[in-house]
Amino acid sequence: MVTEERVINLEATLARFIEQTNMFIAANHEEVAEIRASNARTDRQLLEMQQQAERDRQESEKERKQFRKQFADISDSMGTLIEDMVAPCGFQLAKAIFATEEAQNCAIRLRCKHPSQSGESMELDMLAVGPTKVLVVEVKRRMDAAKATEYHQKLRRLPEFLPELAGKIICPAVASVYLEASLVTFLNREKIYGIAMGDEVMEVINLGQF
């Protein structure tokens, strides 16, 4: 009798253990399923974030390219505007710089090809030619010493591109709306004329200073 009761109790205990084990396994399965679902949601969110970041990057790059293009257009327009401000004063500027003579011809935005070296060319913003002197003007939206030096060195080859100017005195000048005082000092030392906006028109601001 005692043995039967023990068997019954053992079976009952085993049944409860199996039931609890099944409940634990079921709960564990649910937890695993929830973790997997959570991981899937996290993966989707990460993917969406990566895709959004890529879209943002592409949009930013597009905006940067557009900004650079617009900035370049504005810079080009500013340079052209200053050239247009200098052009009407060409003969007057040449007369002031030449002192002893006047320009016979004046032109802006010239591109001169080298007569013997194919593919080489030189661009000149303004050129005024007198009987014995030549005024060559470089126009910049913002002029500095480095740009002035580079331009001055470029002019050494001017007679190569325009042989008809050989023997004439070349008068180099740089032009901008405004030239810093320190730059004017540099121009005087390098014997380069500086042209900037005066009260009404563009004028030579360092005439007679070298």
- Torsion, Cα 144 145 148 149, to 10 degrees, reads -150
All structural domains of the chain, each given as residue ranges with its CATH number in brackets, are 89-204 (3.40.1350.10)
Q: Average pLDDT of each block of 10 consecutive residues along the chain (210 residues)? A: 55 68 67 71 80 83 68 53 77 94 92 88 93 94 91 92 93 91 95 89 89
User: What pLDDT is recorded for position 68?
Assistant: 56
| Torsions phi, psi for 70 (to 5 deg) | -65, -40
Q: What is the pTM of this model?
A: 0.63
User: What pLDDT is recorded for position 142?
Assistant: 84
Beta-carbon contacts of residue 139 (< 8 Å; ≥ 6 apart): 79, 82, 83, 86, 125, 126, 174, 175, 176
